Structure 1
Amino acid sequence: MNKIIIVFRHQPSNTAVLQMRSAGHIFTLTSDISLSIIIIIEILLSLFPCRKLHRIMEELLLTEVEYVRSLCYILTHYFPLLSRPDVPQDLRGQRGRIFGNLEKLYDFHCQHFQQELEACQAEPLGVGRCFLNHRESFGLYALYSKNKPQSDALIQHHRYFKRKQMELGDSMDLSSYLLKPVQRISKYSLLLQEILDECVPDQSGEREEIQAALEVVRFQLRHGNDLLTMDAIRDCDLNLNEQGQLIRQDEFWVIFRKKRSLRRVFLFQDVILFTKTKKNDCGDDVYVYKMSIKTCEIGMTHSCGVSGRSFEIWFRRRRSQDTYILQAETRDVKEAWTRDLEHILWEQALKSRELRRQERLFMGMGWKPFSDIQPRNDAVNGDVTGRGIYQPITG
C-alpha cells in the first residue's frame, strides 16, 4: 500500500512549505503563514477520505474473493455427499433443507457480483450501484437465513459430515461454513456504512446510491428473521402468501377504546396483522392471530401523545372511535413503521387514481390529467389534539 509522507517547514521568509510524497511523486505547497495553517491542514485532510475509501474497497474485494471460495468449497466437498449410497436414511432427500439456496448464492456471486465489485476498485463510490442493480438477487439472503435453523437442526447431531471434515483435515466444520452467507450480508452492511461515512457533501449522487444500497442490505438482514417469525403465526384465516411482501414486524402496545393490549404486529403490503404472543409445548414463541386490517382501508396519524413513540391508524369510512393507537418500544421503531406505512398508502393512492382514470377512459368519459398529488398541509405531521392526519388524497 502506498504511503503519504508529509514534511512541514516554517521558512524564515514567513512562509510555510507543505511537502507531500505519495506513490513516488512529490507535491509541494507554499503558503503565507498569515493565510493560516488551517487552510493547509484542510487540504491535507481532504486527501485521507480517498485513501480510506480505497482501503475499505480493498477489504470488500479481498473478503468477497474469500467468500466465493468458501461457497465453492462447500459445493465441491459437502454437497455431493447426499448423493452417495451410504447417506443416512434421515438425511436422504434433505439437500434443500441442509444447504438451502446456497447454489444460487454461489452462482450470483461467482458469475455476476464479484466481477462488478472488481470493476469498482478504482471508483469505490460506484459500489452502491452494484448492490442496487442486484436488489432482487439479495433477496436470496433472507430466504437462506430463514432456512438456517432447519439446516442446523439436521446436521448438528450427525457424524456423517464430521467424517468428511476429518478426511479433509479441515479445522472448520460444515455448520461453520454454512454460517458464511449470514456473516457475509452483515459484513456488507458494515462496509457500506464505512463507505457512506467517508462521503463528502459534493458526492451527493453517490451518497444516495450507497445509502439506498445499505437499506437494501439491512432490509434483507431483518427480513430473514421476519420470515422466521411469520412461520410462527397460528390460527390465521388469511393466506399470508397473498398479502404482499412482509415489510416488518415488531411488538406494540395497542390501545383501542381504552383497552390496552400487548401485540406482535406484522406489516404486509396489503394488510396489518395483529397477533398475541404465547409459548408452545416446546417453550418457543408462537403468534396467535387476533385480527387484521387491510391497508387500503386506513389512514394514519404520524404522531400522537407526548412520548414520540405512538402513532394512530384509523378507518377512512367508519366512526372516529374506530382508532387504534400503536405505541412502540422506541422512537426509531415508530419512525420506521410510519415511514413504511406512508410509502404503502401513497402507492395505493397512485394505483387507485390510475384505476379510476382507466375506468373513465373505458366508459368514454373525459379525464383531466393530474400533475401532482400532495397531502393537505395539516395532514403530514399532525397529532391527536389537532386531529392532523395522513391520508392520501385520491380524488
Structure 2
Amino acid sequence: MCSLDEQEQGLRSMQLGINPDDVEPILRKRQYVLQELVESERDYVRDLGQIVDGYMALMSLGINGGQSANVSDPSSLPPPVPDDLREGKDKIIFGNVEAIYNWHNDVFLQAIEKCGENVGELGPLFKRSERKLHMYIVYCQNKAKSEYIVSEYIDTYFEELRQRLGHRLTICDLLIKPVQRITKYQLLLRDLVRYTEKGSLQDEVDTLSRALHIMTIVPKMANDMMMVGRLQGFDGKITAQGKLLLHGQLYCCTELSKVPSKEFKELQVFLFEQAIIFSEIVGKRTQFIQPVFIYKAHIQMNKMSLDEKFEVGEAGEPLKFLVKSTDPRHTSTGGSGSGASSSGAHCAFVCYAPNPEATNEWVETIKQILQSQRDFLKAIQSPIKYQNEQQRLSGAGGASGSLASQHL
C-alpha cells in the first residue's frame, strides 16, 4: 500500500504530465541520500562524543589531579598531562568542539531525524540553523594552532589516551571530523536538490536550494578562516582587515627592474578589504600538520597603487602585475630579490598566479577594492556631487550600486 506522501507525489507527477513510473526511482534515490544524511549525522554525533566524553574528560581529570579517580586502583588514574599541555592549551586543542557537540546532540540530530520522514522540512531547518553553523568558522580558525600542539604529542601522550579509551581513531582523526562534516552537508544537499529537480517537486527544490546556498557559503568561510589561522607573526588585528576576498599562492618578487633574471618566490597571499598580506610558506603538509604562513609584509589598500600590466612578457610568459605602497613612510624598493621584510623597507611586489585566469581574478578583485575606495572618498568629500553622478549613471542604465554607497 502506498503512503499518503507517495500518493501525493504520484498525483503531482500526473498533473505535471510526468510518468509516475519515471519519478519513483528518482525519489527512491533521493530517499537513499536522505537516509545517508540521517545515519551519518548519528555517526558524527557519536564521534564528537568520543572527543568530549573521552579525550576532553580524561585531560580535564589529569589536569585537576584525578581527584575523582579511585586512588586504590592506579589503573583508574588518568595518564599525567605533560606540563606543556597545561595552562589552557587543552582549550586550544579542542576549541569550541564541545559547543558544537552539545548543539548537534541536543538539537540538530533530532531535527535531522524528523526530516528523514519529511524532506520538506530540511530546507527551513538549515535556514534556521545558519547562525549556529557559524560555530564551524570559529572552530576552523583555531584548527592550525590545535594541529601544531597535538602533533608534538601524537605518538606519546595522545596515543596513551587513545589506548586507555580503547578508541580505534586517533585524536587527529576525530578533530578533523567537524571540518569534514561541514563540507559533507553541501555534497548531500546538492544531491537532494538534483533528485528533487528531476522529480519536479518545485516547492522543495526552492527550499533545498536555499539550504544548499547556506552550506556553500559556510564551508568556504570556514576554509578561509582555517587558512588565516595558519598565518603567524602579523602584529595587526586580522578581524580589523575586513572580509577576506581572496587567498592563495602567488609568485612574488620585490625586484622592480624589468630584467628576465628576477627570482620569484612562491608566497601565500591574503587579500582583505583593508589590506593585502604577504607571507612565506613554511613546512610541508604531513599526516598530522599543515604548513604555516610566516608574515612577511603587508600593504594597506587605501595606500596602495596597482599596475595591472607591469610586465607583459614574451609569448608564453605570464602577465605580471605590481602592487605598491603609496605610504610616504615606506621607502621605494630596489634590487632585493624576493626578500621583503615586515619593516616597510620593501613595499612593492611584482606578482603573478599559477595560471592566467587566477592572475586576472586577483587583478580584477584588487581593482574593485581600489575603485570602491575612490568612490567612497568622493562621496565623503562631495556628497551632493557624488549622488548626482550616481543618479545620472542610474538614469543612463549604468551600475550605481558601488560599495561606496553602502558606506553612507
Please give the TM-score of this superposition, normalised by the length of structure 2: 0.61
CA distance in 2, matches of 1:165, 1:100: 19
1:99 lines up with 2:94 in the alignment: yes
Q: Which runs of 5+ in 2 are unaligned?
A: 67-79, 285-290, 328-346
Structure 2 counterpart of 1:292, one-letter code: I
* 1:80 alignment partner in structure 2: 57
* 1:187 alignment partner in structure 2: 184
CA distance in 2, matches of 1:377, 1:309: 36
Shift of 1:224: 0.9
* Residues 245-294 of structure 1 deviation map (CA, whole Å, 9 limit, x = unaligned): 444421223585636633522212310123455779xxx76545245241
* 1:272 alignment partner in structure 2: 276
Structure number with the bigger relative contact order (C-alpha 8 A, sep ≥ 6) is 2
CA contact (8 A) 1:373 1:393 kept: no
Within-5 A mapping of 1:1-395: 44-82=21-59, 83-84=61-62, 85=65, 87-90=80-83, 91-93=85-87, 94-118=89-113, 120-121=115-116, 122=118, 123=120, 124-126=122-124, 128-130=126-128, 132-134=130-132, 136-159=134-157, 161-198=158-195, 200=197, 203=205, 206-228=208-230, 230-231=231-232, 233=233, 238=236, 240=238, 242-254=240-252, 258=258, 261-264=264-267, 265-277=269-281, 287=294, 289-294=296-301, 326-330=351-355, 333-334=358-359, 337=362, 341=366
CA contact (8 A) 1:192 1:210 kept: yes
Structure 2 counterpart of 1:81, one-letter code: L
SS of structure 2 residue aligned to 1:171: coil
SS of structure 2 residue aligned to 1:138: helix
CA distance in 2, matches of 1:307, 1:208: 43
CA distance in 2, matches of 1:126, 1:307: 51
Distance 1:192 1:237, change over 3 A: same
CA distance in 1, matches of 2:323, 2:397: 19
Distance 1:190 1:114, change over 3 A: same
Distance 1:289 1:70, change over 3 A: same
* Residues 217-267 of structure 1 deviation map (CA, whole Å, 9 limit, x = unaligned): 133134313421x12x5xx67554532344442122358563663352221
SS of structure 1 residue aligned to 2:135: coil
Identity of aligned residues (%): 18
CA contact (8 A) 2:379 2:387 kept: no
Structure 2 counterpart of 1:88, one-letter code: V
CA contact (8 A) 1:299 1:316 kept: no
* Residues 131-163 of structure 1 deviation map (CA, whole Å, 9 limit, x = unaligned): 63445323123124223312422431324x545
CA distance in 2, matches of 1:57, 1:223: 29
Distance 1:331 1:350, change over 3 A: same
Q: Which runs of 5+ in 1 are unaligned?
A: 5-21, 32-38, 380-390
SS of structure 2 residue aligned to 1:78: helix
* Residues 162-202 of structure 1 deviation map (CA, whole Å, 9 limit, x = unaligned): 45544444433434333322332332343234335446395
Count of residues paired in the alignment = 341
If each structure's strand is expressed as a fraction of its own residues, which one has the higher value? 1
Distance 1:336 1:369, change over 3 A: closer
Distance 1:146 1:162, change over 3 A: closer
CA distance in 1, matches of 2:325, 2:392: 22
CA distance in 1, matches of 2:266, 2:393: 34
